[in-house]
Structure 1
Amino acid sequence: MDAFFASVEQRDNPELKGKPVAVGGSAERGVVAAASYEARKFGVRSAMASKTAKRLCPNLIFVKPRFEEYKNVSNQIREIFLEYTELIEPLSLDEAYLDVTENHKNILLATEIAKQIREKIKAKTGLTASAGISFNKFLAKTASDVNKPNGMFVIKPHQAEAYVETLPIKRFYGVGKVTAEKMTKMGIATGKDLKEKSLEFLVNNFGKAGRYYHEICRGKDNRKVNPDRIRKSIGVENTFSNDLNSPDELYVELDIILAQLWKRVKKARAFGKTLSIKIKYDDFEIITRSRTSQLLIMEEQFISKQAYEMLNALLPSPKGIRLMGLTVSNLEFESDLEGRQIPLIFSI
């Protein structure tokens, strides 16, 4: 979807159409969750501090997110996908892989399927979508960004290797900002540069990911579209209206986060073995701490006890704290545990 959250807000509020919009927190303390294309022209992007976004675009309009509405629209879009295939792998509320090699309508051309889906999305939701079409996930994802917004792009098998050679390394899906900077320092600026590095070199410098980089720079990606992709973590994080330093204030915020986290854990009917705390200081330094148990954590009080102990280990804080979050990972789901004798953790 094109600028999904912001586009939903512009659709539902005509006064926002054609204007620079940021979905997220306040101009002083928040973070941009999504930016309209009008805002992107000024350099505003998702995950940017709202204060920075406002400086780049003084006329930026901030809108509070409405995640329930975004989920509703996402479900409408998924219903359209299901008219064509069951092989759907969501990446987020606004993006998914579809394998249409075999499809319910027996349409031979993937481009025709993408065209029909985009037209139906527009008719049903009033929103535009872009599509990338190719023979593997990496190339389809790469292609999806070429003609945004409201466009399509195809990378055919005979075009793949040559196309990837010209691709800037920062546009490689799966290569993050830090890795891209590391590669640039090594003289790797394009897919062609990456292709010239041996598998041994890439594994030595980038670990397991090196094998993935060795494949994708040749246009290869054997990962299947997985409709049953398992959720890896459940988390909650809050950005505070003011920097906090007092332990008492932080304990109050921790209780709020714990309540939200437990609600999400119960809703997902999931239990985990690892609890992590994330702290972002007023200078944007981020630290995380984690604790892993051998047993599944299925008690709210145990999560609270662990969270308090991890926070206490970070106090007194050397500087103001602007964000705090908790995440449960190493998940197992209730549906998969039925009939098994499960070791549980209880707090006394």
Structure 2
Amino acid sequence: MNMKSIKLLTRRARLAQFALALPLLLGNLHNTAQAANETAKPTYPNKTVRIIVPFGPAGVADALPRIVGQKLSEKWGVPVVIDNKPGASGNIGMTAGILAPADGYTLTLAPTGNLTVNPTLFPNLSFDVKRDIAPITVLGESPNLLVVNAKVPVKNLDEFINRAKQSGVSMSFGSPGTGSGPHLAGELLNQIAGTHLLHVPYNAMALAMNDVMGGTLDSMFVASAISLPHIQSGKLRVLAVAGAKRLSQLPDVPTVAESGFPGFDVTSWYGIVVPKAVPQPIINKLHQDISEVLKMPDVRQKFAALGVTPVGSSPQEFSAMILNESKKWGGIIHAANIKPAQ
């Protein structure tokens, strides 16, 4: 074999080696570029996060996201601002939150009614809970109490129901509005106890409760945080806890379920949701970080002062809760033929 042939074979061998090595080289270049890309991506969150509250700047629904938002801001190193958007029974704020960009920078505070009552009460909403919402977690829950004016001659739920069924006796219950939690709680009691309590809607919880204390109304279901001071002062008498468990502040007061109506549970809860298309890694981070905040002793103390128990449920648990309660409240709305106030 002459020198020319040897050189030709050597060149072919080198070309073959290069061809074999080329895919590996390209793969390494791709991995390097991808790693550089990932490094260049900003960590979430890297700018202001907004929490929309579909009610005005007062009450438990406003206080909870402020408490949690402050802690998240400290954890993330970015501002977390509360954006109150009241109106239309919370539907204005909910719509704004759900139709916001799905980038994780807009969260929405979603109370019980906005996710499980309003979709039935207002059939023309511009969003669908199942299609458009990704649940993150439940911040906390608070049971309602059945209270009466201190002059109503009943000491417990059994006496209350018996009096409501007496011939010639008309008893009333108030609420902060048609379709509100206290309204539906009263309708649920009517359905399972066979009573005909007259519903009197108001524009605010405080107005209804003032009329119960003043004797214009007989009763109402009301959040424990709001009613406890008036129970302790003697202006209101509590007959039963509407939640699944007794309250530590009222250990001798039975639940409605214990009083003869198993399964009765009217608990107000407050969740955080985002638009459905928010990426799963962001949903996971939001859940993890909010859950950590809810375990902080000072946060739990502030929640307790509001009569709220921290929860921190998983997105899956929250989703199941929404589904179950939507069925329950939807059935009550249809059975009582409840229509939204005009």
Q: Which has the higher contact order (CA 8 A, sep 6+)?
A: 2
TM-score normalised by the chain length of structure 2: 0.26
TM-score normalised by the chain length of structure 1: 0.26
* Larger Rg belongs to: 2
Please identify which structure carries the higher helix content: 2
